[in-house]
Structure formats: C-alpha cells, structure tokens
Structure 1
Amino acid sequence: MASKSTVTTLTIFIFFFIEPRLSQQISTVDSECTGRWIHIRTLPSRFNLDLLSTCNHYPLTDDLCPYLSNHGLGPKTHTRTRSWYRTDPLLLELIFHRRILEYPCLTPDPNLASAVYLPYYAGIDSLRYLYGSDVNSSADHGSDLLSFLTRDSPEIWSRRSGHDHFLVMARPAWDFSQPLTVDPPIWGTSFLERPEFFNLTALTLESRFWPWQEQAVPYPTSFHPHSLPFLESWIRRVRRSRRTSLMLFAGGGGTSSTPNIRRSIRLECTNVTETEPETSSEKIKTCDFVDCSNGICEHDPIRFMRPMLQSSFCLQPPGDTPTRKATFDGIIAGCIPVFFEDQTAKMQYGWHLPEEDFSEFSVTIAKEDVVFRGVRIADVLMSIPREEVARMRERVIEMMPRVMYRRHGASMGLMNKKDAVDIAIDGVLRKISSRV
C-alpha cells in the first residue's frame, strides 16, 4: 500500500480508537435519549480499519486510497474551500462511522440500547469477493462476522435475533444479493441472502424495493459544510444563480443504437436550441449536456456543479441500476430533478425525500413515453409555469440539509439542522421500535 495511504489509515486509527472513546458516554440529559440509546458494537479491526489497507488492491476498481482522507470525505477540491471534497460514495461506511461517534445518545451498555450499530465496512470488504481472489467464494461473505457476533458476547445478538442491529453497506443492495445456491457464482455476494441477517437493518445506497431489512440512504455528494454560515452562504448562491439552461443531463451512456431513455436524452440534446421565455427577452439554452463517461466526473464536482447551478431542471434517467448519485448533486445545486421511473428515487429514499408530495419538488415523465411515444422532455418542462418552477426550486432548497452529509465536528448551529445521517438514525430507531 502507498505510504500516503498508510499515514491516512494510521490517522484514522488514532482518531477512531483514542479520541472517540469519550463519545461512548451516557448523556446527562436522559429524558432526551429515552428510546434513542445506541450501542456501538466493538468489532475487531479486521472488520473495518484493517480493510482500508486494501484500498488499492483491486485493479478493476478505482484506487480508493486518495479518498480516505478527512475520515472518508476525501481531499478538498481546492485548498481554500471549507465545504467541498472529492468524496467517493463507496466510503459512506467510513463517513457514517465517524459521524455516529458524535451521536449524543451513545451508551456503552448494550442492555440500555434501543439499537446496536455494527461498524462493519461491508462494501469495502465485498471488493475481495467482487474483484479479488475470493470471487468464487462470495457466498461466504458475512460468515466471519456472523461467527464473531454469535461467539463474542452472544447475548447481544441473540436477545432480539438481530432485530435491533443495523449497519451501513455503501453499495446497491443488489451487490449483496447473490442467491446462496447459485453455482457458478454470478455478480455480487450473498450477505443479504443469509437467513441469519434477515432481521438486521441494512442502510444501502439503493434497495431492492421488497426486502424489509433494507433502506436506501442518499449517496454522499461533495458538499460537507462544517458550520451554519457556510451552509447558508451556499444556499444564497443557489438562490441567486442565473438559470440559463432549461434542462441538464450530466452522465454517460446512451450511445448505442438500442432504444433507451439515455439515448433519447442524448438525441434531444444534440441539436441544442435557444428558447425565448414568455416574460423576458433573454434566450436560454434548451438543453445542456455534461459528458461524464468513463467516470471522469466521479471525483470532480467542478465539472458538473456549475452547469447544475445554471440549469432549471436536472434529468435523472436510470442507468445500470435505477438510482443515481447525480440526483443528490442536483438537489445540492437547487436543480429540480426530472425522473423517468419511480425506482430512481420515489421508491427508494422515503426517509429523506417526502414521498407523499413528490410532485412538489420534482417532475416525473414516464420513460416509455419519451422512448416509444415521441414525447419531448423540453416540451413538458416548458409547459410548467414559471411561478411553479420557482416554487419547486424553493422546495428543493428546503430539502438540501436532509440529503447532505455535514462534516464531522460541525458547529452547534449546523448540528441543529438534521442531515442525512441524523435522518437515517431516526429512521433506524423507528424501524427497530416497530418490530421489537
């Protein structure tokens, strides 16, 4: 492993296992923590920090080592920034682990806890089964963890049969859903197919819709403010940004001749025209396109964030899987999301996005109408009154704190605004209390 990564891992080790020990103290305000106590299960380092040493062991994947810094937020996009980082979504397990250490209702006594958090970096550990030497034994993923949980203080796991345990898995749930009986193995590991884990709650980047043990949480964006003034400053910039493009697509794909929604979007954006707004002489672009093929935008928010700030609507078509990190990048930019199927967001992020009034902040156009029935996306969007667009954008801005992951060690003012981690913890506690 590279020497820089060794230093990074050592820094993380010092922080996690020396300083945060103080966090596992019972709060003095017991009344505020009633029914909210969380116990962090102490796991051997082979289940979390030791896994970080393999950050560049898999040549078929990106080298994760540069993005371990700042406790998983990654390096800053530029030296003077206080809020923007080159964050890799696959490090959400590390980000969440660091953040939960600041949770005010931690208890060292599992008997007092309403929930037990497993700081297991399942997504990082899965790399050896997906791309490494253990690819042919992917059905074994989770067996070592299960063995530990049932051997070390087994009463913690067995008292509720795992119903009160939860963990973060920073990949789509499909990557952990290979049937145990498949031979030869297909894509994925079998972690979520193990009957012993059916009762725990898994926070994933994308869920499979039907299994009740999973809940999708937002992909981490690059925006991680540490104080309320920095969040408010960004919101002011979003509000005053001139939206010079009707719609934007930031992504790849759509280059094959097979009919699909991404191909239709590319074709519609090929002949970019200008549109004359009803109440202004200023012309705006009908469609802007940021080509993010081959992952070139993945760690470079500068490529797409400015175009998102300048667009009224951000198109969010499904790709290899239904969900997209760009959905949350767009919300951070105040760009109204346009969905083409419910599985992209509405059926996924019920804790973080208001499912009951989805049309209040987004537009849905059936992909079949665009691909096979000749519906032009621009025509649909231009038919929305400007007052309605302004109202929808304001609703998107209001949702911004709910989908961002603030920086660890944030100021008290910002901590009073619930972010993606806070809302995920609230959801876990509700889910567990409903069934134990």
Structure 2
Amino acid sequence: MKNNNSSSSIKNQPCNKKPTILLLLLSLLTTSLFLLRLSQNKIILITTITSDSDHHNRDRQDSCLGRYIYIHNLPSRFNTDILQDCESITRPKDKISICKYLDNFGFGPRIGDDGVSIDSKYSPSWYATNQFMLEVIFHEKMKMYECLTRNSSLASAFYIPYYAGLDFRRNLRRRSVAERDAAGKEMFEWLKKQPQWKESQNISFLTIERSPTSHNEFAIPYPTYFHPTSTFEIRQWQDKIKLTNRTILFSFAGAQRRSRSQNGLVRTQVIEQCKSSSKTCRFLDCDVKANGCDDPMSLMKLFESSVFCLQPPGDSLTRRSVFDSILAGCIPVFFNQGSAYKQYVWHLPNNDGEYSVYIPVKELRTGGKSKIEEILQGIPNEKVIGMRENVIRSVPKIVYTKPNRYKPDKETLEDAFDVAVKGVIKRIEKFKSN
C-alpha cells in the first residue's frame, strides 16, 4: 500500500495558512501512549475550520465545500512498515498469523477463495475480516474519499494515517512502557512540527470503544465480514435476511471469562442461562479448540437463525459480535449501557428500545435460571417484528464498503466510514457556529 494522498479527485490549489481546530480520530482500548491516549485500532484525523469569508470566495457549486480532507504523508515507519513487520503483530495466543488479514484493503482473504464452499446466498463481497484491522480499512477508504485535497487551507479535516493500534500490539511484549510508547511519541513530535498543528485548539477521538467519561471521543463500528461494492448489493442482502426463518429464540457466541470482574460474572450468568434454556437458546462455545467461532459463515448462520443475540461485555464493554448480529438481522440484547447505547450514537438508532433489548444486571440475577428466556418470550410479536426491521434498516451504516472512488449507483447509502466522516464534519460546523 502506497502512503500518499495523490488522486485525480484531489483539489490542488496554492496553500495559505488558516487558523485550525484539530480533531483527532482514533479507536479502541486506551493506553498510556502520551497525552493523546492512543490505543488499539487507531484512526487519526485532524480537522480544521475555515472562515465564512474563505467560503464566500470559493465556487459555491463545489459539492466538496466544507468536506475536503487532507492526508498527511507520514513516514512509512508509522504505517506501511508496521504491516511489513506483520508477524510481530501476531500475539502468542492468536490462533492464526495476523498477516493473512492484511489482504484486500485490510478486509482479509475473501471467503470462498480458500477452496471452502460458500452458501449461494452470500455474494463474493464476504471476507474473513479481523476485528483489529479497522485502521488499515479506514486508511484505504480515506485514499478513495471523493473530497481529498492537497491544499491544507481548503481542508475541513487532516488525516494522519498512523497505525497506532497495530504498533501497540507489536510492542506489547516490550519490557518498559517507554519502549512500547516510543513510536507514538516520535509520531507526536513529527506532528508538532507540521504547520497545521501549530494553531490547534481542540482534539477529538473516533474510537471503536469510547471512554464513558470522555466528552470528546466518538465510537465507530467494528468491521464485519461483509464489504459490499454497491447499494444494490446491500439492498439485496437486507431483502434476504428479512425472509430468514429464525428457529432459535436467542443465542450467544463467545468464551467464558475466568475473571471475577463484573463483566466476567455477567458473561457467566448469560452462558448458564443459555445452557439451561437449551430448547430455545443456542450456545456456540468459543473457548474450545475446534469450534465455529473462527468460521465467519458458521457465526453468521447462527445469528441469522436467531431472533435475539446476547451481547454481554467481554474483555471490554463492547463486542465486534454486536455488529455481526445486526448484519444478520438479529436483535441484540445488552446487559450494560456502555456496550452500545453510550457508544455508537452516529451509527445506531437514537431510541435504544427500537432495535434492541436491555436487561439490567440486577434483573438478570433475580428469578429463576431462565430469566433471559422469560423476558424475551414476554416481548409481543409485533414489537419483535418492529425491532428487527430497525436492525435491518441499520445495516448500511455499520458495514465498511469496498474502497471505490466512483459511485455508479443513483441511490447511495452512507456506510460506516461515511457516517463517521459526516459526524466529524458536523462537529466542526458546530464549532464554527459557536
């Protein structure tokens, strides 16, 4: 992957200095990496505000006005060199080398290309995508963004393609915090030397899991297995899952947590209740050596056969499985407000009850062994149908489509990337209005 911002669609005009407000977009679990709190799956975008007088002097017919993005040409050691050293990203507990997941814009190997047959209802746009590839996917999408510019004075956002999450993973086993954070600090020093940084006023973060106490972090979805090429393909998939015969009331795919933390105890309760409701619940144990959790199609078939999909916290509050289940048209069931409701405000419906079920932990622990079953069976059928329709309606906003500079469809649906960029631009407009 070449790390540059050249494109036939890039606006190229003389550069003028303008006051900037910086917005930094990142993702996943926060670490001690200098003051920016860089973490797993980082996506970095810096945004700027231009004055109304600047806009007045520009072509009012320019559809990119207010949406231009400038990509910083980072030294390769901060991105592509990390991918070249992909074996070091693979952790000892990983079953498969992370290197295979770098193919196809970070989507990983296409399902079916490895000789394994794929159900005829699945299109060629299904990939074995790793959940930690978001920063690579985002970078590839940004390279094809329709409103790129080489003129930083035109830009509403400055994108920094630093793969901080992957860099953190490869340095995780280093002895000292200083060694682990060295590249991040070096990137920060590089950033401070750029003219766009000198007048910075504000920093915000895009993450796949925001801190509940942070006012300037915004969560974006984990990548799923589906990366369609067109609106037609998305519509076709939505039509298929509307007609799916769902024979399982609720299901859970995951592993037991040995921790006695709150999250570990909730997951234990969920697994026990699913097992005790064997006639209505299907448990896919991801803690065994030979299981379907490593097979995207096995997971999707389970979720497609289920009315509800249980989503207890795992290592953290959020789960990639939330988006896999939504993709399958399965209604998510949450046990913590921080698993989705306080996270993905741009990508999921504002009314939580319209697309999901929330069971508080204290309610989970009261009653008999099948409390979850009791609650889910008590939801009226018309309510279930309405929630499923809203889940299916959300599919376009939670998938990352294939990078494509040209959009041949007359109808264009915003994907997860588009929604995230739009959210950032709106935030900049809010700063301008104030």
Note closer, same or farther for the CA distance 1:133–1:84 as it changes in structure 2 (3 Å cut).
Answer: farther
Q: Does 1:208 align with 2:194?
A: no
Matched residues in 2 for 1:400 and 1:418: separation?
Answer: 10
**Equivalence for 1:24:** 10
Note closer, same or farther for the CA distance 1:268–1:316 as it changes in structure 2 (3 Å cut).
Answer: same
1:17, distance to aligned residue in structure 2 (A): 4.5
The residue matched to 1:312 in structure 2 has which SS?
strand
The residue matched to 2:379 in structure 1 has which SS?
coil
**Size of the alignment, in residue pairs?**
371
1:370-409 mapped onto 2 (5 Å cutoff):
370-372=364-366, 374=368, 376-409=371-404
1:327-346 mapped onto 2 (5 Å cutoff):
327-346=322-341
Match of 1:114 among 137, 147, 156: 156
The residue matched to 1:137 in structure 2 has which SS?
helix
Note closer, same or farther for the CA distance 1:390–1:244 as it changes in structure 2 (3 Å cut).
Answer: same
The answer for unaligned runs of 5 or more in structure 1 is 1-11, 164-198, 275-285
Match of 2:221 among 218, 224, 239: 218
Match of 1:60 among 85, 92, 104: 92
- Using the aligned pairs only, state the percent identity: 37
1:27-42 mapped onto 2 (5 Å cutoff):
30-42=61-73
**Equivalence for 2:105:** 71
Note closer, same or farther for the CA distance 1:218–1:239 as it changes in structure 2 (3 Å cut).
Answer: same
Matched residues in 2 for 1:228 and 1:338: separation?
Answer: 28
Note closer, same or farther for the CA distance 1:273–1:320 as it changes in structure 2 (3 Å cut).
Answer: closer
Cα deviation, 1:176-226, whole Å, max 9, x if unaligned, reads: xxxxxxxxxxxxxxxxxxxxxxx2x32211111222332111000101111
Note closer, same or farther for the CA distance 1:26–1:238 as it changes in structure 2 (3 Å cut).
Answer: farther
1:405, distance to aligned residue in structure 2 (A): 0.7
1:299, distance to aligned residue in structure 2 (A): 4.9
The answer for unaligned runs of 5 or more in structure 2 is 14-58
The residue matched to 2:268 in structure 1 has which SS?
helix
Indicate the structure whose relative CO is greater, using CA pairs within 8 Å and at least 6 residues apart.
2
1:133, distance to aligned residue in structure 2 (A): 5.9
Q: Does 1:94 align with 2:136?
A: yes
1:21, distance to aligned residue in structure 2 (A): 3.2
Note closer, same or farther for the CA distance 1:350–1:344 as it changes in structure 2 (3 Å cut).
Answer: same
Note closer, same or farther for the CA distance 1:26–1:388 as it changes in structure 2 (3 Å cut).
Answer: farther
The residue matched to 1:148 in structure 2 has which SS?
helix
1:254–1:266 Cα contact (<8 Å) kept:
no
**Equivalence for 2:197:** 157
Matched residues in 1 for 2:389 and 2:166: separation?
Answer: 37
Match of 1:358 among 337, 341, 352: 352
Note closer, same or farther for the CA distance 1:91–1:319 as it changes in structure 2 (3 Å cut).
Answer: same
**Equivalence for 2:48:** none
Aligned AA (1:36): R
Note closer, same or farther for the CA distance 1:414–1:405 as it changes in structure 2 (3 Å cut).
Answer: farther
2:284–2:293 Cα contact (<8 Å) kept:
no
The residue matched to 2:310 in structure 1 has which SS?
strand
The residue matched to 1:221 in structure 2 has which SS?
coil
Note closer, same or farther for the CA distance 1:116–1:257 as it changes in structure 2 (3 Å cut).
Answer: closer
Matched residues in 2 for 1:321 and 1:257: separation?
Answer: 14
Compute the TM-score of the two structures, normalised by the length of structure 1. 0.79
**Equivalence for 1:289:** 283
CA root-mean-square deviation: 2.6
**Equivalence for 1:85:** 127
1:100, distance to aligned residue in structure 2 (A): 1.3
The residue matched to 2:431 in structure 1 has which SS?
coil
Note closer, same or farther for the CA distance 1:38–1:411 as it changes in structure 2 (3 Å cut).
Answer: closer
Aligned AA (1:290): L
